Structure 1
C-alpha cells in the first residue's frame, strides 16, 4: 500500500523496504552471493545509498544492478 504523503526523512515505508528486499534477493541469486558475504553487504549498502539519494524507480535500480 502506498501513501501520498512522504515519510519523515530517512524513514522508509514498508513498500519501499519490500521493493529493496526483492531487488537485493534477486541480485544475490544472480551473483551467487550469500547474505553473509562481504559482497552482499557492499551491495546492500550501495542499493540503500542510491535509494536515499533519489534513485527510487524499481526498473532503473534493476538496470543499475543488472538484475
Structure 2
C-alpha cells in the first residue's frame, strides 16, 4: 500500500535497520493489532522496540 511508505520509512529510521519487508510486516501488524511469530527475532524486535513497542508483540518461532 502506498499509505505505508512513510510509516515504513519512519520505522526503518527509528530502528536503524534496512529491511523494508520486515518494516512493512511490523507496520501492518501494528495497524491490525496482530502479533508476529518470526525466525528473524532480532531484526523484528529492533523495529518493534523503536516504534511499535506498545502495539506489536513479537514471539520467536519455536518458543
Normalising to structure 1: TM-score of the pair?
0.35
Q: Which has the higher strand share?
A: 2
Normalising to structure 2: TM-score of the pair?
0.37
- Which of 1 and 2 has greater Rg? 1
